[in-house]
Structure 1
Amino acid sequence: MVRKFQDKEDTLKGDLLRRISVSLVGIPIMVLVIYVGGWLLGAFMALVAALAAYEYFLLRKNTTKGLSGLGVTLSAALPLIAMLYPTYNEFVQLGFGLVLFGSVTSLIMVMWRRWPEGSPIESAAVTMMGVLYTGGTLSFWVFLRALPEEAMVADSALAGTALLLFPIWVTWVGDCFAYVLGSRWGKKKLIVTVSPNKTVVGAVGGVAGSVLGGLAYNHCLLGEMAEISLSGEMVVLVSILIAVVGQLGDLSESVMKRQGGVKDSSNLIPGHGGVLDRMDSLFFTVPTTYFILLHLFYG
């Protein structure tokens, strides 16, 4: 029993060291890209969207297959379109047109290439789901970064960076709390059929960590950098919402991985798995934060 506990401790420490090492390199690069903004951010998000979409279609290879080439291309295109139209109302018109075009195109291509075995309607749905799940949600990084510029904040670059880093920080702190507390003390499983390693203790700890992270960020950075200071009650509410939708995003990706019969979406990022494994929560939390802050800015 002692040996088994020690092995678990060593594994936990090894995983944390790998995660920290990658984070020490990746986080400064990500912050710099966000601060510079513009087409650098658009190109970066297009690359991330393309990699995420590629992994998404890999997960679907044993089930209903979509059109990976079309899906990856459209997914990468959406953040670039968001750079041209960095407000949601402007983007949604062209973005909807692109999604409609992709839906019709994928339906025609599947009927042409795979009929009658190709399940054209299902394949088209899988393709466009991948586009919206990756490129569609990642476009909100561009929207959130541009929000202070729309609101005429003086230093919009600094303010936009602070706003975009807020859900990323809250999500990351919540993930760390969930991982450590769940690994050490978690016994009762959350949803064993979806993710056998996630526990109730981890889920509750993740929410608590997100709240603490949100309060600390609001107190130390948000008011100074973004010229917006939320009340303590609002921060708690927003942080809880971020934590909940983030865990839903995590569980959603777990369902896809179980359908695909894999543990990680890929091994692209040492200690972290693939792009989907790192972005699963952020696919949900960044858009959620954008709509909340949009309401606060414009009422």
Structure 2
Amino acid sequence: MSSGMLRIAAAIVAIPFFVAATILGDWYFFILIQLLIILGVWEALKLAQQKSASPQMILAAGFSIIWAGLFQFDLSFFALPVILIFLLAVLLVELFRNHGSAILNVSTTVFSVLYVALPMTSLLMLRRMPMELHQSDMTGTQLIFVVLGGIWACDTLAYYGGRLFGRHKFFERVSPKKTWEGAVTGFFGALLGVWLIRWISETSGYTFILTLPQTFVIGVFAGTLGQMGDLAESLLKRDAQVKDSGTLIPGHGGILDRFDSLLFVAPATYIYVYYFIFR
């Protein structure tokens, strides 16, 4: 089966689960995001091992679980103490490990959490935002779908746009196969994706929480920051000299390969919606 067909087949299997968990919310969505966080952090740590680092994998994964739980169970006021405890714990554990470079081990352990767990938690915060702002539960669902719709449309159209029209290299040092044509196609794909989510919601009888211009702002995030997130992960993989961050998803690679754009787009969307629309 070709790479393109594998990508499509994997999407057909995975997307319904993601959609169902998003609609159901509560524990279903929390467990899904927890799995993505743990697997993503683990992949980031494995990349670090390719550079002769010896990160504290169990501690990083454990903190990631606790971190996401703070925002799921309205305990975010403990966030700062938990971060401080984590940083101190990493240093204390490293005192007794004697595994190569302490600076490398500590920095890669902390970075994996900052890179994956913290941004991914933005999805939980977006999904639960209606509870904070006394909005309909559908509001959180719409916000998740508009982010995912923009990113997935951007990725898909960038991939096929690059294959069909790609001529001029885009960030060749980081990702030799990416082209300007693919990037531009992906950007407009993101705008199309967020518009489609809005249209589907309204034609299904739901009032969409965002105006059309506000929706397109998230489309711009997906079309620009999303592609930067993709490039950032490519930079890490290139330094680690691996093609994919993992092998979990056929045709896509690992969790980071599939959700790298979310690490940039989800936090930006949360900040935009929470502080500039609902405040």
* TM-score range normalised by the length of the shorter chain: over 0.9
Residue in structure 2 matching 1:58, options 46, 50, 61: 46
Aligned to 1:8: none
CA contact (8 A) 2:245 2:254 kept: yes
| Conserved 8 A contact 2:147-2:218 | no
1:98 positional shift: 2.0
Give TM-score, length-normalised by structure 2.
0.92
Which residue in the other structure is 1:32 paired with? Answer: 20
Query: Aligned in 2, Cα 1:172/1:222: closer, same or farther, shift over 3 Å?
Result: farther
Q: TM-score, normalised by structure 1?
A: 0.86
Alignment: residue pair count:
277
Structure 2 residue 216 is matched with structure 1 residue 236:
yes
Q: Deviations over 1:86-107 (max 9, x none)?
A: xxxx62x422322221111111
3-state SS of the aligned residue for 1:196?
coil
Amino acid at match of 1:291: I
Q: Distance in 2 between matches of 1:179 and 1:192?
A: 15
Which of 3, 7, 31 pairs up with 1:19? 7
Say whether residues 1:147 and 2:129 are aligned partners: yes
Give the corresponding residue for 1:112. 96
Match of 2:111 among 129, 134, 141: 129
Instruction: Give 1:225's aligned residue.
Output: 206
Structure 1: stretches of 5+ with no match in the other structure: 1-10
Tell me the residue number matched to 2:240: 260
Moved more, 171-180 or 42-51: 42-51
Equivalent residues in 2 for 1:1-299, closer than 5 Å: 14-63=2-51, 64-85=53-74, 91=76, 93-114=77-98, 118-154=100-136, 156=137, 158-221=138-201, 224-225=205-206, 227-231=208-212, 233-299=213-279
Percent of aligned pairs with the same amino acid: 29
Deviations 1:230-288 (A, max 9, x none): 13x33333311221111111111101111111000111111110111011001111111
What do residues 48-103 of structure 1 show as CA deviations (whole Å, max 9, x unaligned)? 11111111111111223321111122123222222112xxxx62x42232222111
Q: Which amino acid aligns with 2:123?
A: W
Three-state SS of the structure 2 residue aligned to 1:190 is: coil
Query: More displaced, 269-278 or 126-135?
Result: 126-135
The 1:281–1:222 alpha-carbon spacing in structure 2 relative to 1, beyond 3 Å, is: farther
CA shift at 1:297, angstroms? Answer: 4.2
Mapped partners of 1:273, 1:16: distance in 2:
13
**Whole-angstrom distance in 2 between the partners of 1:206 and 1:42:** 29
2: CA distance, partners of 1:246 / 1:65:
30
Cα distance in 1, alignment partners of residues 162 and 208 from structure 2: 36
Structure 1 residue 227, shift from structure 2 partner: 4.1
Instruction: Work out whether residues 190 and 198 of structure 1, in 8 Å CA contact, stay in contact via their aligned partners in 2.
Output: yes
CA contact (8 A) 1:66 1:127 kept: yes
In structure 2, the gaps of 5 or more residues are none
Preserved contact between residue 78 and residue 135 of structure 1 (Cα < 8 Å): yes
CA contact (8 A) 1:47 1:76 kept: no
Report the alpha carbon displacement of residue 44 of structure 1 after superposing the two structures with TM. 1.8
Name the aligned partner's letter for residue 62 of structure 2: T
